[in-house]
Every structure is written in structure tokens, then in C-alpha cells.
Amino acid sequence: MATKLLIDAIRDTMFEEMRADERVIVMGEDVGKRGGVFRVTAGLVDEFGENRVIDTPLAEASIVGVAIGAAFHGLRPIAEIQFFDFIHPAMDQILNEAAKIRYRSAGDFNCPIVIRTPYGGGVHGALYHSQSIEAIFTREPGLKVVAPIMPSDAHGLLKTAIHDEDPVLFLEHKKGYRLVKDEVPDNDGAIPIGKARVVQEGSDVTIITYGMMLLESLAAAKKAAEKDGTSVEVIDLRTLRPLDRDAILGSATKTGKVLIVHEANKIGGVGAEVAAMIAEEAFAYLDGPIMRVAGAEVPAMPYSPPLEHAYLPNQEKIGAALDRLAAY
Amino acid sequence: MATKLLIDAIRDTMFEEMRADERVIVMGEDVGKRGGVFRVTAGLVDEFGENRVIDTPLAEASIVGVAIGAAFHGLRPIAEIQFFDFIHPAMDQILNEAAKIRYRSAGDFNCPIVIRTPYGGGVHGALYHSQSIEAIFTREPGLKVVAPIMPSDAHGLLKTAIHDEDPVLFLEHKKGYRLVKDEVPDNDGAIPIGKARVVQEGSDVTIITYGMMLLESLAAAKKAAEKDGTSVEVIDLRTLRPLDRDAILGSATKTGKVLIVHEANKIGGVGAEVAAMIAEEAFAYLDGPIMRVAGAEVPAMPYSPPLEHAYLPNQEKIGAALDRLAAY
Amino acid sequence: MKQHDSGGAGLQTRDRLPAGLTDADLLRMYEWMVLARSLDERMWLLNRGGQAAFVISGQGHEAAQVALASALQVGKDVLVPYYRDLGMALVFGLTPRDLMLSLLGKKGDPTSQGRQMPGHFSSRRLNIITGSSPVATQVLHGAGVALAAKLRGEDTVAMTCVGEGGTSEGDFHEALNFASIHHLPVIFVVENNGYAISVPQRKEMAVASVAERAAGYAMPGVTVDGLDPIATYVVAREAVDRARSGGGPTLIEAKVHRLTPHSSDDDDRTYRPAAELQEERAHDPIPMFRARLMELGVLSEQQEKEIRDRVKAQINDATEFAEQAPYPDPSELMLHVYGA
Amino acid sequence: MKQHDSGGAGLQTRDRLPAGLTDADLLRMYEWMVLARSLDERMWLLNRGGQAAFVISGQGHEAAQVALASALQVGKDVLVPYYRDLGMALVFGLTPRDLMLSLLGKKGDPTSQGRQMPGHFSSRRLNIITGSSPVATQVLHGAGVALAAKLRGEDTVAMTCVGEGGTSEGDFHEALNFASIHHLPVIFVVENNGYAISVPQRKEMAVASVAERAAGYAMPGVTVDGLDPIATYVVAREAVDRARSGGGPTLIEAKVHRLTPHSSDDDDRTYRPAAELQEERAHDPIPMFRARLMELGVLSEQQEKEIRDRVKAQINDATEFAEQAPYPDPSELMLHVYGA
Ligand SMILES: Cc1ncc(C[n+]2csc(CCOP(=O)(O)OP(=O)(O)O)c2C)c(N)n1
Ligand SMILES: Cc1ncc(C[n+]2csc(CCOP(=O)(O)OP(=O)(O)O)c2C)c(N)n1
Ligand SMILES: [Mg+2]
Ligand SMILES: [Mg+2]
């Protein structure tokens, strides 16, 4: 056990897994000497060498496509996409190839790769260094998508992802890298993909969230409790595909009021599926509308500080929604 | 007025618009002499020549990227992607470029292009000639997405799309091309983007659908009426982004019971957003769960007839859901 | 970029056969070609008869495919083919029965259990990598397989194939770039039949030959007459030996003919001059190779008849076998989305 | 692929200046270069002072950028730049005030009203096409602009720029392929500074020069010393004249130096040898051009001082102007998602 930042938990886990299994390689732009633009892979090339830590050309389709080919021939690549915003050239390889390989070959082939990428905003990254486009991937059967924000979850889920026999998209909130800490077990504590975590129990309202919005949600929940004793249950999805039906439906059934919060824009976001699932399977237990607080419905997050601030959900906006929901 | 097949309505509309505005060009794979693999563009090159009807190299990023560049310099390109399944290489150009051009330039630039593509299955096209991945695009602010299935709607919406100052993804159900007919006005009857159509009024249950599932839904509604007098309202969304909130919420409020039907798989589909919208804004009027009937939750539609049949929703599956919903 | 042919007349006597090619090799290559062609023709019959929903052909590509695959070590090397590579699939071990099951979408189809369209050759056991329908994505997989082989210290060679039209995709550029930077044991085969469905080569690229692009990657690029299996074999062997001995990747462009429409869904009369097709049919690689083998005294009328009989028997057997095979059970729909 | 330089010594006398280049042209080019550099340096000061969240530099690229843009007809031709092209943006008419507003994300920033990061040069009025951050997507837009110009029967030329690292993307290949097939009036400029952030050229490509790829598209490819504005101008003019007269596209690779870290977020000490950087600083294009102009007798100490004063005044004015400008109102967030 040690207290670690999100970024250190991810890096340490890669060290552990690369030591444990020489089939694990890391490939991406600037992942070598530079240690990645965020320093997530810092030091890997020194210990494992340029054969296992590969600075690729600036070409995302090749990063994922070559990783897939290498997985076909016995390696277990971890492919880094420098920013989630730049994953688009690799979408064909991820959605049409990686996610469909097991199905199209009826299980004869599979695709054990992990695609790591920093997502999210609030760092003055503007339209193309702030995106939260996870919903493009969470709709894809055959793919698994995780977005842990707590370092211990990142550690446990990255271990599981590297051991998984199917492709996993591993989302790392770049603002959380050096902001979020907790206690992380050493080389241990694998966490199953597909399990949410009840971060805080409550009885009046359920907040379902993930990523940096977990922190805002907890702050808003605290305020609501102090302000008027509202007991808020807060759930961190951690895995975005497959969703944890039991956790989601269980809590919705218990509190009867659900607020979904994410940084990604609202329409067609992960929250839409969560809401639809509840409206279909826990309808009888609902005491109020299923509300969503999400990023502004604009193409992406602007650069200028007041615009960036206006784009992002925060504890005030979440608190206002909690009030409206509690009133039902 | 003339009775036309879907494919003819689309072709005729392109003829009309290209005659009316020489800035309109068509570009894509095999759109020239071959007239497209489905013959949607047949004859265009004969009338408008190779400068305005361009057989492109086999490269989707360039089809859309060049179209965007041409739009920057005064043309109004219609880009054809031969199959929706092959649009992935163009996703960067569609999602990061076309959809964000107006916003990132604060309105200084805009991107008046139409991207036409055949989607949907039931034609033995297997995993890569049957896809319905519209939800990848409907989550993108800045983009408009239409999916008319009736020839008259395709005519009116294609006109509007070509005149629109923003990028429009125009989805054509390939199974509908030569199956669906209705009365189409000649060079007339533009239909606004963002308006659904109440195809059949009803009072007990609302079916919200689009594409070929409109036909299955109407058949199921007819059976339900005959079988036990259930009065089903059937809504064809026609436009998938922006969704017609008034039509959706209005009907949900009226009947209190909603069934959403689409061919695309369920998780993260367009139906998720429709359900979430209703659960958030019409909750008080609901008398039953918001149900969804959708394509099987597998990576894509298989080839073998029994598997393809098992993948697709149909009037039996829709009817069963109607029965369960009516029972509430 | 080099031009290559077996120097026609130069090879009219047996003692001038390229080193390593025995009579038996030539006969085996010829029989693969005949089998590929006859199987393909049967598939069209089944399509026109309404039993097969779709066919996509290798007719006209067989000489190149069989020669290229024959230069690899079956059982060791890895094939990353595209949809026309029926000839390669046969050399690598898929059987007529396998391919007929795939054609009809029947249970037991080893390539996909009836999930993919015909032409998606695949078998982990046979080192044939599963492919999709989007063109050119596989060339990156070929580079990836070669990267793994290199990192694992093997001397395995990967061969990946694409049509000349597919070389327009960004993936093709990215694959050649990656493979050349890392000096990978991969061979990029471009089967250039002059058309991408209806689009002629001059609308696909400004160069006369795809092999001209190899120099931009500091990679050897060779254009070979893909109608000539011996010339193609020579070029392929050179590339395979280079790759296996650490010499890095090669781009091979095999000029071939597409003797059928693009697929059973296509009608090429709208875009293809009849004269051109006639001219190409007149240079069918199979009768040309037969004549050559007879001149060389490698093939006798008797052997020819035996080959035709063997092939016919295999194809009849495969057709019956596949026709009688059951369809997959609908319950299989939900299998293999994720691993256990 | 041609190698090009202005033959150093060959240009030490004024009467040997390339046709069309007057003293006034050279002085204007020099002043643009000084302005670009000084503005860039001021931006770093504001970044280090905490007022600007991000800076990305053209330092070391100025000679190439100013020379290339100067070969175009401002007001008619179209520029599709990338994030380092501050020098080009200035030549095309963006002002220090415009760029300082953009740097600070202030209201009135004509490139994006504070929405984009600095370095996203854009102005419909000035024919500077809006760009994104994903590298290389713009090269396809350059081809598209040229297609429209050609179909409309104009003699407009499009110039699009990308770093050598960006040439690894599939978009680069697709753009060159499309432009060469259609013989479009577009110039593809590759500003080769030897690095993609930390990745050196040898890990980006197996060739010594990007221009070697032009032959694969039947397109002229030229490598020019981008530290030499006169040599670069000569090459650019040739390409522009060719494009304007229907001669089709050209690939120009300007070898330049990156004199700063990749951006204000980068620390290049982890990957870049200090000696290499020192060596490159010793060949800074701006002092080199100044010395040359003085040798040529085109620039006097007095003129030099006037230029420095003018530039300083502009930059101080722009800084103050932008500092005093308000931020956009939060209500602007929702504007311009769709047109009216
Ligand atoms: C990404 C993508 N776009 C379009 C298609 C549709 N398509 C299938 S084959 C083909 C032509 C391929 O031509 P070529 O690469 O020359 O191979 P050939 O069929 O001639 O052997 C096209 C356009 C596809 N399969 N994938
Ligand atoms: C598609 C994409 N991938 C990654 C990045 C991150 N990135 C920004 S600049 C850069 C390096 C570009 O190098 P080069 O093209 O040589 O241009 P230079 O910065 O050297 O001028 C990278 C990797 C990006 N902007 N877009
Ligand atoms: Mg071809
Ligand atoms: Mg560079």
C-alpha cells in the first residue's frame, strides 16, 4: 500500500506488468525517451528497451493496426493514443477490426490489446485536447471501455485490462493525473471490468457518474447533506462498457431518484444509456425524472477560461439538479 | 407527383439540385460510369460530366476531406461513402473537422457538405455491409443526421440537406432502395431537418422508430389493433439529429407508453437518447416503462440467413413488446 | 523499382528453370491454379443458381496467388490475405469443403461459422489471419505480425495482400512506413488488376505502377507479370529470403487481370470495354501455364487429365458436402462477442 | 527529387538576385521574419509570466514561412497552414493584435473568438482556412480548395503546410494521391525540423527526405534549405507558377530548425542533445539573413534599427491591446453550433 497519484498508479502498473510478462509492449507517439507528453510512460524505455517501448510514427491507424497484428502473433500490446481527441484515425482499426475479430472468426481469433488514452478537459486544452467522446466506443459490442478516476481503481483495472483476452479502451482523465490520489496496493488488487463502485451510500437520491465528475458529485452531495439533510448515494461507474446493471438498477430501485453526471456532452452520452436502462428496467421504482447534468451541447470545449468554465459541469450545477430532484 | 422507389427519389433529387446549382458536385467511389454500386448516381456523369461527378480513389478520408476543402472554396459537394460500414476512415474529417468548423471559427467559416451513404441490413451483406452505426454521429454537436425511409421524405430532406449551410449525414437504407415507394412531388416539397412525422395516430402506445423498422412497426401496430384493439401511434423520426423534442415528448405525454424500435443495436443507440429525453422531461406522464426493441447486441449482422434473421427486429418481436407494454 | 519477367523464351528449356523449382513444384502450382479456377467457377454456378448469395473471384489472379504463396513456408509463415486470394488460401491449407461451407454460410465453416461473406479466408491453425471487408486495414496487421515475429526473434515471414485500389487508403502508406522504419519481415503484395470495381487505375493514382511508391519508403519495389507464375515465384522467393534473413520488407506489384465482374453483384458492362476483357481472356494465366508446362515437357496430356479429374472430384465432393451441411443454429448469434 | 539552394556565394552581389526579387521585397521579407520572431518571443514571456496558458513556436521556421507565403498572391491565393505558421499568417494579413488576442483567448480574436488554442490561424477574409489540432487533416482541405479553384476555372493556388511528422498520417498520402490524379493547383509544404515532438526523423520515416515521396505520385518534389529565404522563395515561385499555369501540384520540403521545445508544455532536454540545439542556434535564419542583406548592401544599420523599433512598437501595442481586451462572455459558449 502506498499513496499514489493517478499518473503514478498507471505508470507503476505498466512497470509491474511488463516485468511479469515479456509479451507486453508499449507503443505510441513519444512514449520512449520523452516518457509520453504527460510522462505516463516515463522510465519504461530505460528498463525495457526500445524493442518493447516503441516510439511510433505520428499515425494513429498504424499504432492500433500494428498493435492488432502484433497481438495476432502472440504479443500483448499496450497502444497509447496521445490524446483521445486524436483517436479518430484509428477508429476503423478499433471499431471495425479489434472489436469484431472474435465475433467474425467465431472465437478462432481474439484481440488482446489495451488502448490507453488521456481524455477530458479543464486544462485549457481547447476543442482538441479536452474531448470526452467515450460514447462513440461504449456503443460497440466486442469492445470494453473503462474510465477509472481513483488511482487504486486505475491500478486494478489496468492489470485486468492487460490480462483481458479482448480489446480494452482505457481512459485516463488528464486533469486527474496529478490531482487525484489514494491508497494503491502494490502489484495486486486486480479489479474486474464491469463493476461499478458505491463510493458513498445514501437513501434519497442516486448520483451515477465517472471521471472527474465523481469529485464534483461528492462535493455536491456533501453540500446537499449539510444544507438540507439529503442523503445522496454516489456511484462511480468505473467501467463504461459493459455497464454494471446490478449496481445501477439496484441503487435506482433503492432511492427512486437518479441523477446522472458526466463531462461529456449530454445527447447520446453514456448517461443516455444509463437513463434508458433504468427507464426500461426500474421504472416501477422511480419517484422522479431521471435527470442528467452534462457538458454543454457544443462541438467541444473552448479555450478561453470563462468559456471553458461555462462548458464544464460542476458542484453548483449538480447541486441545483439535486435540489430539483429531491423536491419530487 | 409520381410514385417512386426510394432509390429513384434520391437520384432524381440529385439531378434537380445539380441542374439548379452548378456548385453542387458529387464525389465518391464508382459514382461515375458505374453510377454507384447501387446505381443511385446512375446517369449523373452523362449529364453533368466528369468534373462534377468524380470517381474518387478508394480512400474515404480523402473523399470527405477534399469535399470539405472544396466547400471552403465555394462548392457544395455531395460526398458518397459506398457503405456506411466503410465510413470509419473518414470519421476524423466528419467529427473533428466538418462538425467543428463553424464552432471553432465562431461562425467565420462553415461547411455545407452532404455525406450520403447506404446503411442497414437484411441483404446478406454480413458484418461489413449491413451496419447501422448512426449513434456514432448523432452524438456529435455541429452535425445533422437524417435517415428518411419514405421516398417523399428522402426527396424533401435531401433538398434541404443540399441547401443547408452545415454538414448533413444523409442515411439511405439499402434494403429500402427498391422496396419502399410512395408519392413524390417533382422538384418541390423541401422538408425541414429536425421534424419527425406521425405516420399513424393512436392513443394507447407510441412507437418511435425510423428506417426499415417503420414498416415492421406499422405491421405490428396493425396486428395489435386487430388482435386486441390497441391503438398505436407510430412516429417516424426521419431526422436523428437534432431530434424532434416536441413530437417525441408530445406523443409520450399523450399515450404514456413508449416503445422505441431500431435496427441498430440497443446499447448506446439513438433509442437510448430518445428514452433518456422522455424519462427526463415527460416522466410525470408515463404509465409504463420505456421499452426498446433493437438489433441484437453483437458486433455486427452475420451473413448466414438464420443468423441474419435472428439479428434483426421484426413485427413479431415488436408485437411482443407492444403486448407487454399495453398490459401496464 | 525493378521490372521483372521470366524472360519468356529464356525459360523454354527445363535446364533453365529457376534454381529450386522442380517439375513437381511446377505441377503442384499448376494444380492449385486449376483447383482455384474450377472452384471459383463452381461458386458462380451456385450463385447464378440462387444457392449462393454472393461470390467474389480470383479468376485471373491465380498464377500470382499460387506462386506468391508457394514461396512461403506453409505451417510457419503468416498470410494476411484479401478477398480475392482463393489461390493463396488453398496453398495454405483451406480445403474446397471449407470454402464451400463458407460460400453457403453453413455450420462448420472454419473461417467464420457462416458469419462473414465468402472470401474472408481465415484460420488460426493455418496461419491465415482473419480479415474484415474494409480494404487495406489488413496491411497494418501484416506489419504487426512481422513486428511480433521480429521482437520474438523468429524468422517467420508475413505476407499481406491488397488490390491496387486499396493502396489509395491511408493505411497502406502507414503500413509501408512503419514496416520500413523497423525493417520488418513482411512482404506487401499488390495484386494490380487495373480496376477498383469500376474505377480504372488512372483515376486511382498518377503513377504507372504501384511499385514506384516503394522508393519513398527506402524499400525494394518490384513489378512482376502476375500471369507468369515462374517469374512471380522468382520475385517472391527473393523477397521472402530477404525478409527471412533480416533484410526487411519488399513491395511486390503483380500485374494481373480481373476476368470476372468485381463480384456477383457487379455488372462490368457499364464501365469495361468488351475488347479489353476479350484481350485479357486471351491471356488467361491457366491455359498459358499449361501450354508452357507442356512445351517444357513437365506436363503430359495424361497428367492434365488426371489433374482435371482430381479437381472435379474434389469440387463435386465439396459442393455436395456443403449443400448437405446444416445452417448454424440461430442461438449461435450471441456467441463469441467476448471471451469467457 | 531535386536539391535546391541559392548557391550561397553565388548570391553575394545584388545584380545576381533571382529575377523579380527587389531590394524592397528582401527588406519586407526580413521585417516579417523579425516580426514573427519577436512576437513569438513575447508570447513565451507572457507564457512564462503566467498570462498565456500555451505557446507553440515558429522559431527557426520563419525564413521558410515568410519566403513561401511571399511567393503567393495575398488576397487571391489560399493558405491552409499548420500551428507553426506564424510567419505565413503575418504575411497573409493577421496582425500582432489579432495574434495576441488569440494567445490570451480574448474577445475579438478573429481566428476563433478565443475558442481555439493559440496557433490556429484562421480568417475567411484573408483566405486563411480554419484548422483543427489533429495533424495532417488540413492537407486534404488544401487539395479540396484546389479542386474547387480548378472546377471554377480560377487560377487560384492553394498552399498547405504540415510538419515532417505529420506526413506519417494516412491523410498526407491520400491528399498527394488525389491532387496528383487531378493535377490540382496546390503546393504541399513540409516544414521538416527533424522532430515530431521527441521523435527524431529516423523513427518517423526510412528515407532521408520527405521529398523522395513525390515521385510516387508523379509529382515534382524539392528539398530546399528553409534557413535560406531566397533559395526557398525561388523554389516556391517555381511551384506557384507551375500550379497557376495548370502544371499541377508540387511537394516542397523545407529543412528548418526547431529552436524551441515543441511547445510551452514540452521540455526537450529529455530527448534532445544540447550540442545539436546549440549547433542549430548557431545557424539562426534571422541573423544569417541580416548579415547577408548587409553584405548585399540591401540593409543598413539605420534600416535595421528602424525595423527593430517598428516591430517593438507593434508588439508592445499588441500586448497592451490584448491584455486590456475583455474575455468572451460566458453566454457566447452556445453560439455558432449551427447556422441560423
Ligand atoms: C474502406 C472500404 N471502402 C470501400 C469498399 C468497397 N469496395 C470493396 S472492393 C473495392 C474495390 C477494391 O479494388 P482493388 O483494391 O483494386 O481490389 P480488386 O477488387 O480490384 O482486386 C471497393 C471500393 C471497401 N470494401 N472498403
Ligand atoms: C492526429 C494527431 N496525433 C497527435 C497529435 C499530437 N501532436 C501535436 S504536434 C505533434 C508532432 C508534430 O510533428 P511535426 O509534424 O514534425 O510538426 P512540428 O511540430 O515538428 O513542426 C504531435 C504528435 C496531433 N496534434 N494530432
Ligand atoms: Mg484492382
Ligand atoms: Mg517536425
**CATH number for B290:** 3.40.50.920
What are the C-alpha distances in Å from B81 to residues A94, A143, B14, B85, B186?
19, 25, 16, 9, 26
Q: Which of D80, D109, D130, D169 to mutate to test the interface with B (most CBs of B within 10 A)?
A: D130
Are residues B14 and B160 both part of a single domain? yes
Q: How confident is the model at residue C7 (pLDDT cuts 50, 70, 90)?
A: very low
Q: Please name the residue that has the C-alpha cell 407487454.
A: B324
Using CA coordinates, name the residue in chain A closest to B127.
Answer: A104
Q: Name residues of chain B where pLDDT drops below 50.
A: none
Query: What is the structure's pLDDT at D20?
Result: 81
Dist CA C295 CA C283 (whole Å)? 17
Does B56 sit in the ligand 1 pocket, CB within 6 Å?
A: no
- Which residues from chain A sit within 8 angstroms of residue C77, using beta carbons? none
pLDDT mean over D3-25: 64
CA of D262 to the centre of ligand 4 (A): 9
pLDDT tens for residues C226-263?
999 999 999 999 999 999 999 999 999 999 999 999 99
Using CB atoms, list chains with 3+ pairs below 8 Å to chain D: A, B, C
Q: Which of A51, A62, A102 to mutate to test the interface with C (most CBs of C within 10 A)?
A: A62
For residues B153 and B123, the answer to whether their CB atoms sit within 8 Å is no
Are residues A112 and A212 both part of a single domain? no
pLDDT tens for residues D22-66?
999 999 999 999 999 999 999 999 999 999 999 999 999 999 999
In a domain, B212, yes or no: yes
Using CA coordinates, name the residue in chain C closest to D171.
Answer: C170
Are residues A31 and A177 both part of a single domain? yes
Per the CB < 8 Å rule, is B55 touching C330?
no
Residue C95: is its pLDDT beyond 90?
A: yes
> Looking at the partner chain, which of A35, A62, A303 has a beta carbon nearest the beta carbon of D115?
A303
Are residues B235 and B256 both part of a single domain? yes
The alpha carbon of residue D289 is apart from the nearest alpha carbon of chain B, in Å, by: 35
Domain boundary among B126, B161, B184: B184
Q: What kind of fold does domain D2-71+138-307 have according to CATH?
A: Rossmann fold (3.40.50)
Name the residue of B64, B82, B83 whose CB sits within 8 Å of the most ligand 1 atoms, as the mutation to test its pocket.
B82
Domain count, chain A: 2
Does C135 sit in the ligand 1 pocket, CB within 6 Å?
A: yes
Dist CA D308 CA D318 (whole Å)? 15
Residue C8: is its pLDDT beyond 50?
A: no
Are residues A34 and A180 both part of a single domain? yes
Catalytic residue among A73, A129, A155, A309: A129
Which triple of cell numbers denotes residue D134?
489533429
pLDDT mean over C269-287: 96
Query: What is the structure's pLDDT at C4?
Result: 55
CA of C136 to the centre of ligand 1 (A): 9
Residue D208: is its pLDDT beyond 80?
A: yes
Query: What is the structure's pLDDT at C10?
Result: 41
> Looking at the partner chain, which of C180, C181, C205 has a beta carbon nearest the beta carbon of D177?
C205
Per the CB < 8 Å rule, is C175 touching A109?
no
In a domain, A189, yes or no: no
Does the ipTM exceed 0.90? yes
User: For the sheet containing D158-163, what is the strand order?
Assistant: D2-4, D221-225, D250-255, D186-192, D158-163, D78-80
Query: What is the structure's pLDDT at D15?
Result: 59
Q: Percentage of residues in chain C with pLDDT exceeding 70?
A: 95
Q: Whats the size of chain B, residue-wise?
A: 328
* Buried/exposed code over A119-143 (b: 16+ C-beta within 10 A; e: otherwise): bbbbbbbbbbbbbbbbbbbbbbbbb
Are residues A90 and A169 both part of a single domain? yes
- Which residues from chain A sit within 8 angstroms of residue C156, using beta carbons? 73
Catalytic residue among B73, B88, B129, B262: B129
Dist CA C105 CA D22 (whole Å)? 74
Residue C295: is its pLDDT beyond 90?
A: yes
Nearest CA to D68 out of D43, D51, D49, D85 is that of: D85
Query: What is the structure's pLDDT at A130?
Result: 98
Per the CB < 8 Å rule, is D181 touching C204?
yes
The reply to whether B155 belongs to the active site is: no
- The number of the ligand nearest the C-alpha atom of C262 reads 1
- Residues D81/D83/D86/D88 CA torsion (nearest 10 deg): -10
In a domain, A191, yes or no: no
Per the CB < 8 Å rule, is C152 touching A70?
no
Q: How confident is the model at residue D4 (pLDDT cuts 50, 70, 90)?
A: low
C-alpha torsion sign, points D66, D69, D71, D75? negative
Per the CB < 8 Å rule, is A37 touching D165?
no
The alpha carbon of residue B57 is apart from the nearest alpha carbon of chain C, in Å, by: 5
Residues in chain C whose Cβ is within 8 Å of chain A = 78, 80, 110-113, 115-116, 120, 122-124, 129-130, 132, 134, 137, 140-149, 151-152, 156, 158, 170-171, 174-175, 177-178, 181, 332, 335-339
Residue A23 lies in domain? 2-184
Dihedrals phi, psi of A194, to nearest 5 degrees? 100, 5
Residue D310: is its pLDDT beyond 60?
A: yes
CA of B31 to the centre of ligand 1 (A): 14
Are residues A112 and A152 both part of a single domain? yes
CATH of the domain at B15: 3.40.50.970
For residues C97 and C108, the answer to whether their CB atoms sit within 8 Å is no
Query: What is the structure's pLDDT at D18?
Result: 75
Per the CB < 8 Å rule, is C217 touching D207?
yes
Q: Which of D82, D103, D113, D199 to mutate to test the interface with A (most CBs of A within 10 A)?
A: D199
Which triple of cell numbers denotes residue A243?
455497464
Question: For residue C134, which atom of ligand 1 is closest to its CA?
Answer: 26
Residue C264: is its pLDDT beyond 60?
A: yes
Q: Name residues of chain A where pLDDT drops below 50.
A: none
Residues in chain D whose Cβ is within 8 Å of chain A = 53-54, 105-106, 112-117, 132-136, 165-166, 168-171, 196-199, 203-205, 265-266, 270-271, 327-330, 332-334, 337
Q: Please name the residue that has the C-alpha cell 453540500.
A: A223
Does C195 sit in the ligand 1 pocket, CB within 6 Å?
A: yes
Residue D7: is its pLDDT beyond 50?
A: no
- Which residues from chain C sit within 8 angstroms of residue A51, using beta carbons? 151
Are residues A22 and A79 both part of a single domain? yes
Dist CA A188 CA A206 (whole Å)? 30
Nearest CA to B213 out of B268, B171, B152, B162 is that of: B171
Query: What is the structure's pLDDT at B302?
Result: 98
Question: For residue C193, which atom of ligand 1 is closest to its CA?
Answer: 20
Question: For residue B88, which atom of ligand 1 is closest to its CA?
Answer: 1
- Which residues from chain C sit within 8 angstroms of residue D172, using beta carbons? 170, 173
Mean pLDDT, chain C, rounded, equals: 95
> Looking at the partner chain, which of A34, A58, A305 has a beta carbon nearest the beta carbon of D166?
A58
Nearest CA to A125 out of A296, A311, A286 is that of: A311
Name the residue of C197, C203, C209, C210 whose CB sits within 8 Å of the most ligand 1 atoms, as the mutation to test its pocket.
C197
> Looking at the partner chain, which of D114, D165, D271 has a beta carbon nearest the beta carbon of A33?
D271
For residues B137 and B241, the answer to whether their CB atoms sit within 8 Å is yes
What are the C-alpha distances in Å from B242 to residues B245, B257, B276?
9, 23, 15
CA of D167 to the centre of ligand 4 (A): 10
Query: What is the structure's pLDDT at D9?
Result: 40
CA of C196 to the centre of ligand 3 (A): 4
Residue C313: CB atoms within 10 Å: 11
Which triple of cell numbers denotes residue D235?
523554389
Are residues A158 and A265 both part of a single domain? no
Are residues A244 and A152 both part of a single domain? no
- Residue B223: partners with Cβ closer than 8 Å, 6 or more residues away: B315, B319
Question: For residue C133, which atom of ligand 1 is closest to its CA?
Answer: 25
pLDDT mean over C78-85: 98
Q: Which of D79, D121, D140, D180 to mutate to test the interface with B (most CBs of B within 10 A)?
A: D140
For residues A35 and A61, the answer to whether their CB atoms sit within 8 Å is no
Residue D3: is its pLDDT beyond 60?
A: no
> Looking at the partner chain, which of C199, C271, C332 has a beta carbon nearest the beta carbon of B29?
C199
Are residues A214 and A177 both part of a single domain? no
Dist CA B139 CA B91 (whole Å)? 13
pLDDT mean over C158-165: 98
Are residues B134 and B201 both part of a single domain? no
CA of D268 to the centre of ligand 2 (A): 15
DSSP letter at A263 equals: E
Higher-pLDDT residue of B204 and C5 is: B204
> Looking at the partner chain, which of D112, D124, D148 has a beta carbon nearest the beta carbon of B75?
D148
Mean pLDDT, chain D, rounded, equals: 95
Name the residue of A30, A64, A80, A82 whose CB sits within 8 Å of the most ligand 2 atoms, as the mutation to test its pocket.
A82
